[in-house]
Amino acid sequence: QVQLVESGGGLVQAGGSLRLSCAASGRTFNGYVIGWFRQTPGKEREFVSAIRWSGSNIYYAGSVKGRFTISRDNAKNTVYLQMNSLKPEDTAVYYCAAARTYYSATDPLNYNYWGQGTQVTVSS
């Protein structure tokens, strides 16, 4: 079955960097889009970034554009989220997810598979 496993979260000071990884397995992901979302307690899951498996389409939320970079390594079946200039408001559990179609790539309801999440904490 499809598995998505996130890693790379942790505690970092404001202004620092982290790189999250999402290792995908269980099928081929051609045509899929892989997205990153984040969630804090009491709030809805928020779109962060997404990339088509081919790399032809990339999407960013306005709040992270210019600071975060999404990329993928098809040979490793892994999608990365490089997060720079981190702010305390970036603190959240970060999830990666896979969708069969890139339509509505920013909508969590579009996604079919989810990882377990990784905690990112940015201290001020």
Contact criterion met (CB below 8 Å) for 78 and 70: no
Write out pLDDT tens, residues 16-40: 999 999 999 998 888 899 999 999 9
Identify the sign of the CA torsion 97, 88, 20, 31.
positive
pLDDT per position as a tens digit, 72-95? 998 999 999 999 999 999 999 999
Q: Is the pLDDT of residue 102 over 80?
A: no
Q: Give me the phi and psi of 7, to 5 degrees please.
A: -155, 165
pLDDT reading at 115 higher than 80: yes
* Count of beta carbons in the 10 Å neighbourhood of residue 80: 19
Mean pLDDT of the chain: 95
Does the structure show a pLDDT above 90 at 55?
no
Partners of residue 20 on adjacent β-strands: 81
What pLDDT, on a 0 to 100 scale, did the predictor assign at position 48?
98
Length of the chain, in residues: 124
CA nearest neighbour of 33 among 52, 54, 55: 52
